[in-house]
Structure 1
Amino acid sequence: MPAKRLSVVVTRRLPEAVETRMTELFDVTLRDPDTRMSRDELAAAMRAADVLVPCVTDQIDANLLAQAGDRLRLIANYGAGVDHIDVATARQRGILVSNTPGVLSDDTADMAMALILAVLRKMPEGISEMMGGNWQGWSPMAHLGRRVGGRRLGILGMGRIGLAVARRAQAFGMQIHYHNRRRLRPEVEAEVEATYWESLDQMLARVDVLSINCPHTPSTFHLLNARRLKLMKPSAVIVNTSRGEVIDENALVRALKGGELAGAGLDVYEHGVEINPTLRELPSVVLLPHMGSATIEGRVEMGEKVILNIKTFADGHRPPDQVVPGLL
């Protein structure tokens, strides 16, 4: 008699190829239409399933986990970041958590580089003029941005994505600086000619561009606060493709309005879709709708990792991408 298939609930629509493969392997409940689940719906799903496949829009905290019941055994997150999941509480309740690291590094790094170029070269200003039909022809002093080559790029968080950003920026002639919990191996530093700063404050005072690539954890919440923003040059710009909570968004707005920073390129925001309205009004700011990892290839590869984690778990083994609370 064949083994009973795992019951899997997916909280958002995924690429068709991923959903099809999941349906072949597991007893899957897919999300239709593609809307964010309410807390009540999430609680019901966690009681009904062996495996929950959530994403960044699902806040799975201790109170929600307390409603999960005894059936749920794996939260196979569709995404690398797990700051929306209380991993420690899940572990205490005997629920494993897995994620999808590595597959989005290049896509996110591409977007970080695009934001650096867009902010330094004032691309939105030019696009707005063209789309509005207001262009009167070339002028020597119009849309003057800053040259990318030779700029000092500070990378906050030199993991997979940070290193991918460094490689791209190096090709553009930028000088690479970084701050990280741990210094890279000498051969990796040499590859991108990176300068390590043990002191974040000292690095911030010296860079022209800051790329935020660290995860959101209790220790990184508001890591870029008002005091640290004041350390940066008035000509410096900030790009964030990681998590919005790393920056004190109100302090960032004040710095931009007061001329203490030259610009910002943001793909993520401290309060999700509730963006500080002043950010939309500042011509020096480029805003994107959390699309740093949004490629077809990346989304499919994320799904393949989720499936591998579930299949490995179903076979009685530890998921290859299990998240360990102590390592966050």
Structure 2
Amino acid sequence: MPPIPTTLDAEALSLIESIERRHNDLSTFQIPRLKACTGPLTTQQAWAAEVREDIEGLAKQIEELDVLVDDHRTERARRELRRRAEVFRDSLVNLRKDSRAALLASKYAIDSQSLSQREELMRSPAIREKSTSSSSEKVTEDALMKANHDVTEALQRTIGLMQKELERSVLSSQLLESSTATLQSASKTHDTLDLILGASKQLITALEKTDWLDRILIISGLVFFGLVVLFILKQRIIDRGLRIAFFWTRLLPSSGSSTRAVVVQKAGEVVATASAVLESSIGGHGSPSFTISATEPWTTGQHSGSGGVHVEL
């Protein structure tokens, strides 16, 4: 081993010394001892376990050494410690290879020794007969064990199939329950929608009736308003115009009652015709009445009086 540099701290130095001691113990004592082991099997297994434990401990120590690399302040110390860790890691790989080779060699030696001992025992007749009977018994036991194993496997397969079928039945029952709940909710929703549709239909019918009633009332009001307007126009314009138009009949002279009667008759016919036209246009709201008075003028020194003619249409 190369000399340990003095730039490393005490913890790293102690860890390196421990790694070297364990490495030397494995390479010079434990692995050669395991390789030379020829029995018994328990001793070989115990020594192999010790080798494995020491190798695992050595691997952990090398990992700890890798962790300590970054704890050093100087680059030289880190580089040197990293190099030593790589060297120990390579030696660990070699130790594992050597331990596996030693274990195989020890196992081969133990198997060879047991085989030779068995051959020596098989050479004697008593042992041969005993081995024959034991082999036949072993064959019978093997057959029984095989049959028992087959039956056990068949039962296990049956149990597995039964469990699968049980799971399927449980899943089917759960699906059936969920489907039933869905159908019930759909039925309730359908009933609710039916009620809403019935109420909406009744409301729409009532609104239609109200709409027709409102239309009739509006049309009736408009007709009544039109009739009132026409009546007011008749009273204020037509009747007053006729009275103004025939106002001149009052100024007619009183000479000759026949002439005045003719004029009054003509005026009455005109008024009757106008009233008939108005009644046909308005629709019969009563017949207006006019009073046409004729005043006879005074002659020279005489007053023949005045006469009034009342005409109703």
TM-score (norm 2): 0.16
TM-score by length of 1: 0.15
* Bigger fraction of residues in helix: 2
> Which has more strand, going by share of residues?
1
Q: Point out which structure has higher relative CO (alpha carbons under 8 A, 6+ apart).
A: 1
